[in-house]
């Protein structure tokens, strides 16, 4: 029996008309092929799969789960990805500027929306220098991508430079997730928030630790993930909205 | 503002710099080692088992299944133990992959 979460996601998929997402998270789609290449690569390297080295971590299985993705899980992934697209779409519509939209982002799933953006001269996309970028360049951009939007243009940014404050007050839109942001300290989170321009938007997906912080009222005190959310909430230079459905998302606008 | 970035254009997709990523990962691993009282200046001395066991030793908590949160100190230690273990595991995994890419492309 499908979960209520998956059922809602399937209904959302049927009742939305987001362009170019028909084949997103389907067994024959590009992301399935992409995820298989990454999984094969990681298996080839022989990363440590013992319990003590893995624990319980979605990051470890994300690409395995995206191969030949099942209908229910595919709909959940679809919903999460489309919501990220939605926030960017809504936040940047009619923004009234001739300069390219400056974006700091990551690519875990090369959904068509993001690929099109990389070829769009009105978007100046910056991707963090991490293994996600390597996977994207090696297994998608240089391999699967069929050139349908022309060459892809973007810049790579090192985390050290972000932490040094080299990009403060620089981006119109910063999109991040828990794999990048949830660290023992708030340094990475602070650097990402500080990189948003006044008037710009910060979107943090999977703000709920895959729903864990919604399980009961104690979780917001007992979860480090909730501490991360609370830090965003404490920033007086941001107006933040925690939206507690699906994986949870924080949408924060820089106001000062 | 220094603002170093590697711009990709013309269909050559090779902006990933494994050495820079490894350097950042190693700073973060060293921080975790120092937190649990190990020598962060020599991270190659420690396998992931040493780090996880060190975290568990530094942030002990009860696993009493009849009282899932135990006492207050159990709850706090569990929170920090989980956060540090998740980070340490990811960092060790990412470091191994990034080092492979650095050496083999």
For A159-213, the pLDDT digits (tens) are: 999 999 999 999 999 999 999 999 999 999 999 999 999 999 999 998 998 888 9
B15–A60 CB contact, under 8 Å:
no
Q: pLDDT per residue over A25-66, tens digit each?
A: 888 889 999 999 999 999 999 999 999 999 988 888 889 988
Diameter of chain B by CA atoms?
Answer: 61
Instruction: Give dist(CA A82, CA A76) in Å, integer.
Output: 10
Contact B21 A159 (CB under 8 A): yes
The reported pLDDT for the residue numbered B68 is 59
**Does residue A153 register a pLDDT over 70?**
yes
**Quick check: A153 contacting B, CB < 8 Å?**
yes
- Residue A200 in 3-state DSSP? strand
- Nearest-angstrom CA–CA distance, A69 and A77: 9
Distances from the Cα of A242 to the Cα of A7, A192, A228, B97, angstroms: 23, 17, 12, 34
CA–CA separation, A214 and A207 (whole Å): 10
Chain B residues whose beta carbon lies within 8 Å of the beta carbon of residue A126: 5
Give the closest residue to A150 by CA, choosing from A137, A160, A141, A138. Answer: A141
Q: Best mutation site among B16, B68, B90 for testing chain A: the one with the most A CBs within 10 Å?
A: B16
Among the ranges given (A68-77, A133-142, A236-245), the one the predictor scored with the smallest mean pLDDT: A68-77
Contacts of A3 (CB under 8 A, 6+ apart): A72
CB contact under 8 A, A154 and B7: yes
Q: Do A47 and B93 touch (CB under 8 A)?
A: yes
Domain map of chain A by residue range?
Answer: 4-76, 97-254
User: Per-domain residue ranges for chain B?
Assistant: 18-104
**Nearest C-alpha in A relative to B52:** A52
Residue of A nearest to B88 (CA): A53
pLDDT digits (tens, 9 = 90+) for B30-85: 999 999 999 999 999 999 999 999 999 999 988 765 565 667 888 889 999 999 99
A214 touches chain B (CB under 8 A): no
At residue A253, the 3 state secondary structure works out as strand
**pLDDT at A246 > cutoff 90:** no
CB contact under 8 A, B96 and A218: no
Q: Of A84-88, A93-97, A177-181, B2-6, give the lowest mean pLDDT range.
A: A93-97
Q: Are A148 and A154 in contact (CB under 8 A)?
A: no
Cα-Cα-Cα-Cα torsion B18, B22, B23, B29, nearest 10 degrees, comes to 170
Are A82 and A21 contacting, i.e. CB atoms less than 8 angstroms apart?
A: yes
For residue B2, the model assigns a pLDDT of 60
Interchain CB distance below 8 Å, A47 and B96:
yes
Q: Please state the ipTM of this predicted complex.
A: 0.93
Closest Cα partner for A204 from A75, A78, A84? Answer: A84
Q: Is A95 on the interface with B (CB under 8 A)?
A: no
CB-CB under 8 Å, B83 with A182: yes
B66: Cα separation from own chain's centroid: 31
Q: Indicate the CATH number for domain A97-254.
A: 3.40.50.150
């Amino acid at each position: 029996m499908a979960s209520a979460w998956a059922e809602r996601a399937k209904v959302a998929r049927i009742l939305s008309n987001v362009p170019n997402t028909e084949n997103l998270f389907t067994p024959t789609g590009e992301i399935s092929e992409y995820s298989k290449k990454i999984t094969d690569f990681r298996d080839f390297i022989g990363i440590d799969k013992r319990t003590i080295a893995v624990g319980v971590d979605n990051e470890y299985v994300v690409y395995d789960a995206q191969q030949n993705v099942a209908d229910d899980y595919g709909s959940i992934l679809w919903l999460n990805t489309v919501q990220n697209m939605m926030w960017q779409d809504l936040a940047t519509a009619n923004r009234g500027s001739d300069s390219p939209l400056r974006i700091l982002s990551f690519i875990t799933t090369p959904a068509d929306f993001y690929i099109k953006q990389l070829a769009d001269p009105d978007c100046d996309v910056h991707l963090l220098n991490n293994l996600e970028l390597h996977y994207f360049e090696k297994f998608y951009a240089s391999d699967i991508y069929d050139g349908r939007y022309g060459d892809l243009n973007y810049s790579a940014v090192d985390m050290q430079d972000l932490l040094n404050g080299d990009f403060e007050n620089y981006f119109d839109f910063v999109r991040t997730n828990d794999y990048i942001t949830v660290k023992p300290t708030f340094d990475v989170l602070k650097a990402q928030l500080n990189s948003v321009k006044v008037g710009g938007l910060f979107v943090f997906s999977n703000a709920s630790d895959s729903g864990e912080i919604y399980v009961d009222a104690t979780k917001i005190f007992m979860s480090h993930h909730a501490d991360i959310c609370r830090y965003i909430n404490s920033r007086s230079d941001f107006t933040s909205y925690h939206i507690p459905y699906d994986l949870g998302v924080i949408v924060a606008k820089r106001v000062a | 503002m220094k603002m170093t970035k590697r711009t990709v254009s013309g269909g050559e997709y090779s902006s990933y710099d494994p050495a820079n990523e490894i350097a950042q990962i190693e700073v973060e691993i060293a921080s975790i080692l120092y937190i649990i009282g190990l020598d962060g200046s020599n991270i190659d001395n420690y396998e992931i088992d040493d780090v996880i066991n060190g975290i568990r030793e530094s942030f002990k908590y009860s696993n009493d299944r009849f009282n899932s949160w135990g006492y207050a100190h159990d709850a706090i230690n569990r929170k920090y133990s989980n956060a540090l273990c998740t980070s340490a595991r990811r960092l060790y995994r990412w470091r191994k992959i990034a080092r492979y890419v650095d050496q083999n492309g």
